Amino acid sequence: MKLITLSIIPMFLLVLSILIFSLVGCSPPDPSGTPKSFTPKKLLHEVYSDHFIIGAAVASSEYGSMDYFDKKYPNLLPHYNSLTAENAMKPEVIQPLKGSFNFAPADRIVKYAAANDQKIRGHALVWHNQTSSWMTEGTKEDVRENMKNHIETVMNRYKDSIYSWDVVNEAVSDQGSYRADSPWYVAYGGPEYIIDAFKFAKEVDPECKLVYNDYSVVRPSKRYDIMTMIKKLELQKHGLSGIGIQAHWNLYYPELEELQRTIDLFHQMGLEVHITELDIDCFDGIGNTENRKFDNDLAKRLADRYEEIFELFRKNSDKISSVTFWGIADDHTWLDYFYNSTWNAGKKLKNYPFVFDEDHRAKEAYKRITEF
Ligand code: XIL
């Protein structure tokens, strides 16, 4: 008798829950099931019009394929009131050979943005990566001249369109102090190239918001090194007006408290904060070799994370001028190939870092950052 009662109760509960779920017209939640997606109802930048600019990085041609961003994301591009070239304005793309400029991919983005009333954040003028070697070869004077010509030519071309430039990218080392193996640092024999970059940029366009951009800015030791560099080199005197926090983050890093402290510290220095390359790695980044599907559980964790991050951003609207995602939808993210080639050679590790999914539909994360 006891046995029968025991087996009847769970059976009864199961039938009851199936009945309830079928009455309300949905199936029981399954943490490993496929997450729901939505047709977005509001434009991101309209939701944030009282807070900050909302941008996205776009790839005008993805390494050889003519897969243009405007053909690919016609419905999602209107969500952003700022665009950034994911690669098209980097030195190796825009001036691959000395004096020979390849403006077509960047022009395409600028033209699209102008036609659609979008601003542009330029990325990036001086960097140790994606820069042809000729630029940093020769005497210090040669290299200085190369930098000056590059900055003048590129900035002048887009002077009317670009409201903010990442003038120097990633000049601080993860190990502390300057990135001494940057070819710019080597050619100059020190960090003065950073001062020159801001000086040249300021001469071309004193109205433009000139930014120092880096990753791991929220990490206390690197943040300290960046702040020290800015003070020591007196970069604000030479035109620096903002800090670019790249924001290649994940479900755990950074802690909100540390993020808040970072925003406050740079704000206290008189700098505008730009969130320049936001994506949320759904895995724990380095070292994770496990491939996971984007299931209900992950969708919820990503949504929770986006919700708390944007809540903090909104609270700091007076300090933050722009928030740019490093891509648009999950079908194109540098995380897929960067991690695969760098840390997970040979392994396919698909990531899902955005608020729009691979089919360009809105994810739960989109809801959480638009309904508050
Ligand atoms: C990445 C692009 O997304 C990739 O397409 C490219 O192959 C490598 O660079 N920090 C930066 C960005 O400042 O320029 C990088 O973009 C990502 C890290």
Give residue 23's pLDDT band: very low, low, confident or very high (50, 70, 90).
very low
How far apart are the CA of 57 and the centre of ligand 1, in A?
10
Q: What is the pLDDT of residues 314-340, one digit of tens each?
A: 999 999 999 999 999 999 999 887 766
Q: Would you name the residues annotated as active-site residues? A: 170, 277
Q: Residue 337 CA: which ligand 1 atom is closest? A: 7
C-alpha span between 289 and 283 (Å, rounded): 9
Please give the share of the chain, as a percent, with pLDDT higher than 90.
Answer: 79
Domain ranges, ordered by start, for the chain: 36-370
Give residue 4's pLDDT band: very low, low, confident or very high (50, 70, 90).
very low
Comparison of pLDDT for 258 and 8, the residue scoring more:
258
- β partners of residue 209: 164
Q: Residue 57 CA: which ligand 1 atom is closest? A: 3
8 Å CB contact between 54 and 84: no
User: Is 204 a residue whose pLDDT tops 70?
Assistant: yes
What's the average model confidence in pLDDT over 237-260?
A: 97
C-alpha span between 104 and 131 (Å, rounded): 18
CA distances from 318 to 60, 217, 263, 315 (A): 32, 19, 11, 8
Return the pLDDT at 6.
44
Return the pLDDT at 314.
98
Q: Which two structure tokens, joined as six digits, stand for 301?
A: 């964790």
**Within 13 Å and on the Cβ side, how many CA atoms surround 245?**
33
- Identify which of 60, 61, 86 to mutate to test ligand 1's pocket (most ligand atoms within 8 A of the CB): 86
Comparison of pLDDT for 24 and 322, the residue scoring more:
322
- β partners of residue 320: 273
Return the pLDDT at 5.
45
What's the average model confidence in pLDDT over 85-92?
A: 96
Comparison of pLDDT for 187 and 31, the residue scoring more:
187
Query: Class of 36-370 per CATH?
Result: alpha beta
What's the average model confidence in pLDDT over 147-172?
A: 98
Q: Residue 59 CA: which ligand 1 atom is closest? A: 5
Comparison of pLDDT for 6 and 175, the residue scoring more:
175
Q: Which of 34-38, 99-103, 195-199, 202-206 shows the lowest mean pLDDT across its residues?
A: 34-38
Q: What is the pTM of this model?
A: 0.91
Please give the share of the chain, as a percent, with pLDDT higher than 70.
Answer: 85
Return the pLDDT at 283.
81
Q: What is the pLDDT of residues 118-136, one digit of tens each?
A: 999 999 999 999 999 999 9
- β partners of residue 289: none
**Within 13 Å and on the Cβ side, how many CA atoms surround 73?**
27
Return the pLDDT at 27.
58
How far apart are the CA of 177 and the centre of ligand 1, in A?
22
What does the mean pLDDT of the chain come to? 90
How far apart are the CA of 208 and the centre of ligand 1, in A?
23
What's the average model confidence in pLDDT over 142-168?
A: 98
Give residue 24's pLDDT band: very low, low, confident or very high (50, 70, 90).
very low
User: Ligand 1 — pocket residues by CB below 6 A?
Assistant: 86-87, 169, 246, 277, 334
